[in-house]
């Protein structure tokens, strides 16, 4: 096992928190943990790989806030706007690194990204400030980046098949409302879990807080962090009603993980 860290770059929904035009208590909160950018994480395994999961809409801001200077690969959970619209900012990492960045996802995600960012994958009429230099790789099973083993975890986001990812003793399962039978064994034994928990009221494509708690109890990690929260879940008040070992993540949270060397 090799040690690394995970930084929660964003823990909000597609609207972010505060939400535009909203004057609710969470959106007006002075608690910095109630400020949530769009969802993404950064996995740093020193001397092996620095991996970005999703290019969230707020990628530029996240990269500046956390002084990110390298991205060896991008993993896409799926191709909804809040998870991909920062893709153009990968250009900065191309410039820093002098190389194309490999991007991984399932077929549905990669096809949608190629359509959404056709100027990246088709010859542009005029480059202007340049375009991201990327290579795409369809995920069909476990794979490795920089000697770090990654296990894709199939999930359902409503009717859309998406991916979670397991890195050794850590699993990241965002934007899901169902974990299929074949996926439970893939997250068996994880020590740290980050899991989708949108709000208290039901939603057709996301776990509610109660559903996320139930899934966490079945997986039984040592620590569970919830992500992709709306402004309906104020940080401190929500944590006060969660079971021991379960809490809301927040932007800027950093924790240690152990990954398998490949």
pLDDT of residue 127: 65
Q: Which residue has the tokens 């034994």?
A: 189
**Does the pLDDT value for residue 190 go beyond 90?**
yes
Q: How many domains does the chain have?
A: 1
Q: Which domain holds residue 207?
A: 2-259
β-bridge mates for residue 134, sequence order: 101
Parallel, antiparallel or unpaired: strands 143-145 and 2-10: unpaired
Sign of CA dihedral 208, 187, 36, 110: negative
How many Å apart are CA 112 and CA 80, to the nearest integer?
A: 9
Question: What single-letter DSSP state applies at residue 178?
Answer: B
| CATH number of 195's domain | 3.60.15.10
pLDDT of residue 125: 61
Mean pLDDT within 28-49: 97
**Does the pLDDT value for residue 130 go beyond 90?**
no
Which pLDDT tens digit goes with each residue over 52-88? Answer: 999 999 999 999 999 999 999 999 999 999 999 999 9
pLDDT of residue 126: 62
Sign of CA dihedral 178, 86, 43, 236: negative
Comparison of pLDDT for 125 and 117, the residue scoring more: 117
Mean pLDDT (the chain) is: 96
Give the pLDDT band (50/70/90) at residue 262: confident
How many Å apart are CA 260 and CA 249, to the nearest integer?
A: 24
pLDDT of residue 122: 87
Which pLDDT tens digit goes with each residue over 134-163? Answer: 999 999 999 999 999 999 999 999 999 999
Which pLDDT tens digit goes with each residue over 20-37? Answer: 999 999 999 999 999 999
């Amino acid at each position: 096992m090799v040690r690394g860290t995970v930084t929660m770059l964003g823990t909000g929904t597609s609207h972010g928190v505060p939400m535009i035009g909203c004057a609710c208590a969470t959106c007006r909160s002075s608690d910095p943990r109630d400020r949530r950018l769009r969802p993404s994480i950064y996995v740093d395994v020193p001397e092996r790989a620095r991996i970005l999961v999703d290019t969230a809409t707020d990628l530029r801001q996240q990269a500046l806030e956390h002084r990110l200077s390298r991205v060896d690969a991008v993993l896409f959970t799926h191709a909804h706007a809040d998870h991909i619209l920062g893709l153009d900012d990968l250009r900065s990492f191309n410039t820093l690194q002098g190389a194309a960045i490999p991007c991984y996802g399932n077929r549905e995600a990669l096809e949608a990204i190629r359509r959404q960012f056709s100027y990246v994958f088709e010859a542009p009429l005029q480059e202007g400030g340049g375009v991201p230099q990327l290579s795409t790789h369809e995920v069909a099973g476990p794979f490795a980046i920089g000697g770090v083993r990654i296990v894709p975890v199939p999930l359902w986001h409503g009717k859309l098949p998406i991916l979670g990812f397991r890195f050794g003793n850590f699993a990241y399962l965002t934007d899901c409302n169902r974990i299929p039978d074949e996926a439970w064994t893939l997250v068996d034994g994880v020590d740290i879990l980050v899991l989708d928990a949108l709000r208290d009221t039901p939603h057709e494509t996301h776990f509610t807080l109660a559903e996320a708690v139930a899934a966490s109890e079945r997986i039984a990690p040592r620590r569970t962090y919830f992500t992709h929260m709306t402004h309906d879940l104020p940080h401190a008040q929500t944590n006060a009603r969660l079971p021991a070992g379960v809490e809301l993540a927040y932007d800027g949270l950093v924790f240690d993980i152990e990954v398998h060397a490949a």
